[in-house]
Amino acid sequence: MRRVALCLAAMLLAAPAGGQGVSERLNDYPTEARTDYVFGCMATNGQNREVLRKCACSIDIIASILPYEKYVEAETVLALQQGSGEQLAMYKTAVVSQTMVAELRRAQAEAEMLCF
């Protein structure tokens, strides 16, 4: 597990994404988005200091993997998939939508491995 974390950190430091430096990419999530994620995470996992630490770690890992714009897109698709009706059905089956959600799920899985 430690080896995975070191490899991830090395990859992040070696290759800035989209012309952004590492620090800009890691900090492109607004405080409100990070806080919203932590509140939701704590509601699911427990309301104590240890869970707060794990949830904060989790959003930090997600932010290091997925640019904020892609995070918002995937979260929007997930919200639309919760709805019903013909107009929202395309968000459940479209390949683009499925790809966005899959990227978010991979980032969440990585965060869970490293933080929980």
Q: Tens digits of per-residue pLDDT, 58-92?
A: 999 999 999 999 999 999 999 888 877 766 666 55
The answer on pLDDT for 18 being more than 80 is no
Domain contains 76: yes
Number of domains in the chain: 1
30 vs 55: CA distance, rounded Å: 16
79 vs 97: CA distance, rounded Å: 11
Report the chain's terminal Cα–Cα distance, integer Å: 11
Mean pLDDT for the stretch of residues 1-21 = 43
Domain contains 15: no
Domain contains 51: yes
Global pTM?
0.73
9-to-21, 26, 37, 70 alpha-carbon distances in Å: 14, 12, 22, 20
């965060």: which residue's tokens?
A: 111
pLDDT for position 93: 65
Domain contains 14: no
Mean pLDDT for the stretch of residues 17-45 = 82
Domain contains 35: yes
Domain contains 61: yes
pLDDT for position 80: 84
Domain carrying residue 83: 2-9+21-115
Domain contains 29: yes
Domain contains 55: yes
